[in-house]
Amino acid sequence: MRQRIEQEALRLGFTACGFAKAEPVEEEAVQVLDHWVEQGYHAGMGYMERNRELRLDPTLLVPGCRTLIVVALNYYPQRLLPKEGYQIAYYAYGKDYHRVVKDKLHQLLAYIKTIVPEVKGRAFCDTAPLLERYWAVKAGMGFIGRNRTLIIPGQGSYCFLGVLAIDAEVEITEHIEPQHVKFCEGCNRCLKACPTGALTRDGIDCRRCLSYLTIEHRGALPLEVLGKLGRRIYGCDTCQQVCPHNSLPAPTSEPFFAMSPDVASLIYEQWQQLTPEQYAVLFKDSAMERAGYEGLCRNIEAAARKC
């Protein structure tokens, strides 16, 4: 059954698929998460402090679940924005990934029901207290790099993760053995390249992370990061761009992740004169809705000072 589910996942467009037993998170990972929160590295993301019990045990989040099916979906753009223009994180080029990934997971669940009609499940994509990267590693899909992204050997880190929790037992996939996870040893490119020094040995300090500050943060941008914003107006891909595992990224074949021609063609003056009405039309069903109109305008104004 595992092989059939994996084949269907790949047919649906997912680029990797793994299976993990639904069980409490290992104590070492719990300590890492708790330390990260205690250091205040989660910045204004108060939700990382809430629902701790659910986050650390998927069987509490989805009572009765026995297997976690973890999938990855490549989002690396087929065409990049010109370097001389404003920059948007690659993941936000197209449609909101939450909807795209969850829709495919629902299709995968429908397929599983043809094998096990009575099966029940829930789909997640960055939409619940669930440690997706942890479970991706447990499912044998890859390892966590120093930039704290999941790196899939041979594919890199430009991928969205989704999880389908089902109440049926499926044979798990073996996770990558420790001797094969030393791909980051001797490489500090992401740590050195981070514009604000947000990458630490303990994880990402979101209080300095340009991705967090330009998307999640509300209010004025900290003065100490303004000079390091560059042309970024939504997110930051630097730690992934310098990663050797992303040296030859394969563009996504998912049409939903292509940038709208109307957005791609915007010039400086049009960005700076963006109205709420234009914003609502241009970024409807886009991940860029996360920052809000005021947040995006704040970023554009800050970047304009440096361009």
pLDDT tens for the chain, 307 residues: list them: 999 999 999 999 999 999 999 999 999 999 999 999 999 999 999 999 999 999 999 999 999 999 999 999 999 999 999 999 999 999 999 999 999 999 999 999 999 999 999 999 999 999 999 999 999 999 999 999 999 999 999 999 999 999 999 999 999 987 665 444 566 878 889 999 999 999 987 889 999 999 999 999 999 999 999 999 999 999 999 999 999 999 999 999 999 999 999 999 999 999 999 999 999 999 999 999 999 999 999 999 999 986 5
CA distances in angstroms from 113 to 20, 116, 119, 124, 141, listed in the order given: 19, 5, 6, 18, 24
Catalytic positions, please? 126
- Cα of 17 vs its chain's centroid, Å: 16
pTM of this structure: 0.94
pLDDT at 180: 47
pLDDT at 186: 81
Task: Compute the CA torsion angle 108, 134, 1, 154 (nearest 10 deg).
Answer: 90
pLDDT at 102: 98
- Cα of 221 vs its chain's centroid, Å: 22
State both tokens at 37.
């929160």
